[in-house]
Structure 1
Amino acid sequence: MAAPGFWTRPPGRLLRLVGPLAPGVRRRSRPAAKAEVPVVAVGSASLWGTGKTPAVIALAQRLAARGRAVHVVTRGAGPAFRVDERGHAAAEVGDEPLLIAAFAPTWVAARPADGVGAAAAAGAEIVVLDGGWPDSAVVADVTIAVEDAVRGFGNGYAWPLGPLKRRIRDAFGDVDHLLTVGPAAAQHAFSARWAADVPCPRLAAELVPLQTGMDWSGLDVVAFAGIGAPERFFATLAGLGATLIRAQALSDHQEMTPALLGRLEAEARRAGAQLVTTEKDAVRLPPGFRPKVVSLPVRLEPADWAPLDALLP
């Protein structure tokens, strides 16, 4: 989401006075349901992008590698249904569920408990509940929070005065592990600023480009991205040696209209450049346009899997 500028600035006098009164995002009042299978809830205290989707994919892959029949459940509209990665479009199910479905059986449901029940009935031995914290409709066996190490908690206040869904002093009491996503310098800065406010164990992780055999060095690209922090995608491309002719930041989940894609294609053609986007944005492209675009996949890599391995059911 596009964050107001004051969410990231040091609070002024007025904000320091009224900030502690900010209510945060309203929580559900109904009791959480108990699932038939173990549930790993994954969520963020922040309203901006944190790397949650790559974390969900990484956890699902890790559990599958241990021989578990793992399904993912995410919140959507209507009764529970399983995402068909080949038959559904992003406009029908959402770009994140469609991306996750390439890695694990994925269910969308307005009521997460229904999604977990459907997954269990379909053979799931364990469920990763995307968005299952902090407002959980299902009792979690393990709760993992994912936060952006670069932006941290912004000004430290709850919505609408800051980026947090809860006041920071109330945010992490029910979390088993905090996963902070970002490079080493950002991890150190996060520790210095926020470690005292987070009572649960913390593990650093990075989003690392997947080696696909693509040689980016010296390649002219027209890049576009509609994710939480598009500038980091562009920085990743530059770090791989690509020359960015244009870096078009889109809003999160922005529709890929024919006019938008036509402009990007025309610019790439004039410059003799390659169109490049993220994996998540690629699933929103019209089928006929996808062959014209290269996606750069990234994977979440924790500094050490051992703490999470010991935690996971």
Structure 2
Amino acid sequence: MNRAPEFWWQKDSLASRALWPLSVLYGAIAGHRMYKRPRLRSEVPVICVGNFTMGGAGKTPVAIAVVRMLLEAGKKPAVLTRGYGGRLKGPVLADPAVHTAAHIGDEALLLATIAPVVVGGDRVAGAATAIEAGADVLVMDDGFQNHSLAKTLSFVVVDAAAGIGNGLVFPAGPLRAPLDTQLQFADAIIAVGEGPVDAGLRAIAADYGIPLHAAVLAPQNGAEFEGKRVLAFAGIGRPEKFFESLTACGADVAGAPFSDHHVFTDAEAAKLLSRASSEGRELVTTEKDHARMQAGSGAVQRLCEAARLLKVSIDFVDEAPKALVLAALANHTARNAKKGWAKVK
């Protein structure tokens, strides 16, 4: 996946105007799919963590935070994910001892360190695999626009500062479907980032009566980089956020951005190693990038071994998201008993 074009974040541009007819067609198809009746309502709760837009907003860290909430509540969660960047179609139960990012994608490898993960594009088949493996609640990492499996609760993650960009649908803008359609399926918005939430996003949430909760990506080991000269490299949705986090930790940062889910070549790895050496900087990367490099060889293997990690977690400003999760579990149990929803098959 290439990096998002700059005009996606501009309110008016020649590029977005030229692509508008295509975005109308894409939006009509995507919106229609969201209105389709779900193929199945699961006998276990399904909590979705998605986003309105393409590109990084902090979705996977929020999914991890939700999984940890469920574990603390004594539940046995499993994560459903497409496994973007991996070649296995699934459904397959992720095994970090066997699978690499080339098999199941970097996000699945990272999530599998927290809870069981089922990789596959067919969410209904993935749900059946997860439940058979013992899951009593499912967390969908992405899939907000996917209609196949009914959701008990849908969190939509948005970058607090960037909001929804120019508000247009792909390819004219970053939206995955028309915003007014997506808002009808959102139960809460999680705005991730330091500083004030985008005013437009806040107004939209208020207009639709959707609760908006703030969260920050909090470095877990940031003190390790205070006063250090680092060469930070990242292939995520918005590498700049990673660089800013390191700067906030007190590091002197030189950044090397790559596209989302970027697979590093030997030449790129060798260049990063050489640059770090010549500039007297320590190499630092993200957990997702590190997971993607683990099965590499040659210069990629050396880069993986040399790079230190800035580990981050999601900190919610208040307890409201946890309360929503716990309420969703209780409500699902009550509705399931009353309506006798079919089991996943």
TM-score (normalizing by structure 1): 0.91
Q: Does 1:306 align with 2:315?
A: no
8 A contact 1:37–1:126 mirrored in 2: yes
CA RMSD of aligned residues (A): 2.4
> 2:122 aligned with 1:111, yes or no?
yes
User: How far did 1:270 drift?
Assistant: 2.0
Shift of residue 218, structure 1, vs aligned partner: 1.6
Cα offsets for 1:11-48 (capped at 9, x unmatched): 26994995894642733467432223111112111112
**Equivalent position of 1:33 in the other structure:** 40
Q: Which has the higher helix share?
A: 2
Structure whose residues are more often strand by fraction: 1
Displacement of 1:86 in angstroms is: 2.7
SS at match of 1:24: helix
Residue 92, structure 1, aligned to residue 99, structure 2? no
- Which amino acid letter does the alignment assign opposite residue 236 of structure 1? S
For residue 78 of structure 2, the aligned residue among 45, 48, 71 is 71
Give the 5 Å matches for 1:1-313: 1-11=2-12, 15=17, 21=24, 23-24=26-27, 26-27=29-30, 28=33, 31-76=38-83, 77-185=88-196, 187=197, 189-191=199-201, 194-196=204-206, 198-211=208-221, 214-244=223-253, 246-287=254-295, 288-289=301-302, 290-312=304-326, 313=329
Instruction: Tell me the distance in 1 between the aligned counterparts of 2:77 and 2:102.
Output: 25
8 Å CA contact 1:32–1:137 kept in 2: the answer is: yes
Shift of 1:188: 5.4
Contact 2:190 2:213 (C-alpha < 8 Å) held by counterparts = yes
User: Does the aligned pair in 2 maintain the 1:143–1:174 contact within 8 Å?
Assistant: yes
Once residues 312 and 181 of structure 2 are traced to their aligned partners in structure 1, the CA distance between those partners, rounded to angstroms, is 32
Paired with 2:90 and 2:24, the residues of 1 have a C-alpha distance of: 37
Q: Is the 8 A contact 1:83 1:106 kept in 2?
A: yes
* Superposition deviation, residue 102 in structure 1: 0.8
The amino acid across from 1:306 in the alignment is: A
CA spacing shift, 1:151–1:291, aligned 2, 3 Å: same
Q: CA deviation at 1:226?
A: 0.5
Is contact 1:74-1:109 (8 Å) kept?
Answer: yes
- 8 Å Cα contact 2:168-2:175 kept in structure 1: yes
3-state SS of 1:183 partner? coil
Q: Which moved more, 1:278-287 or 1:302-311?
A: 302-311
Identity of aligned residues (%): 35
Aligned equivalents of 1:98 and 1:50: distance in 2? 19
CA distance in 2 between counterparts of 1:224 and 1:178 reads 29
- What is the deviation of 1:161? 1.7
Q: How many Å separate the matches in 1 of 2:221 and 2:236?
A: 21
Identify unmatched segments of 5+ residues in structure 2: 296-300, 330-345
Structure 1 pair 293/18, CA: closer, same or farther in 2 (3 Å)? closer
SS at match of 1:50: coil
Distance (whole Å) between structure 2 residues aligned to residue 293 and residue 56 of structure 1: 25
Q: Give the CA deviation at 1:144.
A: 1.1
Please report how far the alpha carbon of residue 239 of structure 1 lies from its aligned counterpart in structure 2 after TM superposition. 1.3
Q: Aligned to 2:138, what secondary structure does the other structure show? A: strand
SS at 1:301 equivalent: strand
The number of residues matched between the two structures is: 310
CA contact (8 A) 1:168 1:197 kept: no
Secondary structure of the 1:221 match is strand
